[in-house]
Amino acid sequence: MLEIDHIKARYGTLTALHDVSIALKPGARLGVFGHNGAGKTTLLRCIMGAHAPAEGQIRFQGEEVPPGRVPETVRRGIAFVPQGHNVFPNLSVERNLHISGLLFDQNFVREVLKLFPVLDERRSQRAGSMSGGEQQMLALGMALMTQPKWLLLDEPSTGLAPVIVRNVMAQMLKVSEAFGTGLIIVEQNVPATLKVVDQALILKSGRPVFQGEARELAEKPDLWEWF
C-alpha cells in the first residue's frame, strides 16, 4: 500500500495542500488533476520525500517515507519523472538508460528496450536529437531502470501532439500491466489520462474536490464543474 495520510504542505506562509488523504493498493493507477497552482506537483514531491509535509505522513508498505531522503525513496521502489525532458542530451539513449540504472540491475536495459521498440531503434542516437515524444519515452524508460513499484509522472504529455500523447499514455499502461507498476499521473489532459487510470483526484487550491473512480469522472458530462 501507498498511503497519503492527512497531508498538509506549506511553503512559508502559503498552504499548498490542506488535507489530502488517499490509500492506493499495489499496481493502482491514479490521475491527479487541477488548475495551475492547485498543489499537484507538491503532492508528488511530498510522496517522494522531496518536500516535508507540515502535517500528516506518507507511508509505503507500512513504513514512513522520511522527508529529505529521496535516493532512499527511489531505492525502496518509488520513481519520479519530473516535468520536462529529463534526459542527458549529449549521451546516447543506451547510455542514458545505463546511468539511470547504475545502482540497479544493468541487464534490465534489455527489458526496457524490448518494451520500447522506438528506443531500441535509436539506442546509439544522441538523446538530445530525438523528438519531444521520444525523449518523454526515454525519461519513462530511465525511471523504469530503477524497477519501481510506483511511478510518479508530472505532466508527461506537456508539449506533445495529441497522437503522441495517446502513444505515451498507452506505453504507461503497458508498463503498468507488464510489471504491475502503480502509476500516479499528474496531468492537464484529463480525457487522455482517464483512459489509463482507474482512480482520480481533483485538487482545487490544495483541497481535494473530487476523489473516486476514474470511470465516474469520465461519465460526467459536467466534469469541468470541478475545476
**Residues found near ligand ATP in the complex (CB under 6 A):** 11, 14, 16, 34, 36-42
Site membership for Mg ion, residue 100 (CB under 5 A): no
Smaller CB distance to ligand ATP: residue 85 or 122?
Answer: 85
The interface partner of residue 49, options being Mg ion, ligand ATP, none and the CB cut-off 5 to 8 Å by kind, is: none
Alpha helix positions (H), 152-201: 162-179, 190-194
Site membership for Mg ion, residue 189 (CB under 5 A): no
Q: Which stretch binds Mg ion (CB under 5 A): 37-45, 74-82, 134-142, 208-216?
A: 37-45
Site membership for Mg ion, residue 42 (CB under 5 A): no
CB of 23 to Mg ion, least distance (A): 23
CB of 183 to Mg ion, least distance (A): 17
CB of 83 to ligand ATP, least distance (A): 7
Determine contact, residues 182/144, Cβ cutoff 8 Å. Answer: no
Q: Closest Cα to residue 216, out of 204, 205, 200, 196?
A: 200
Determine contact, residues 135/157, Cβ cutoff 8 Å. Answer: no
Smaller CB distance to ligand ATP: residue 85 or 149?
Answer: 85
Quickly count: other Cβ atoms within 10 Å of residue 202's Cβ. Answer: 22
Site membership for Mg ion, residue 157 (CB under 5 A): no
One of 41, 73, 100, 171 touching Mg ion (CB under 5 A): 41
C-alpha dist (Å) from residue 206 to 20, 32, 92, 149, 157: 8, 12, 39, 26, 22
C-alpha dist (Å) from residue 129 to 88, 96, 98: 11, 13, 18
Question: How many angstroms separate the CA atoms of 133 and 120, rounded?
Answer: 15
Smaller CB distance to ligand ATP: residue 181 or 189?
Answer: 189
The interface partner of residue 128, options being Mg ion, ligand ATP, none and the CB cut-off 5 to 8 Å by kind, is: none
Q: Which stretch binds Mg ion (CB under 5 A): 35-43, 143-151, 175-183, 214-222?
A: 35-43
CB of 160 to ligand ATP, least distance (A): 16
Smaller CB distance to Mg ion: residue 41 or 199?
Answer: 41
Question: How many angstroms separate the CA atoms of 30 and 45, rounded?
Answer: 16
As given in the structure block, the three cell numbers for residue 151 are 511511478
Question: How many angstroms separate the CA atoms of 166 and 43, rounded?
Answer: 25
What residues make contact with Mg ion under the rule CB under 5 A? 41
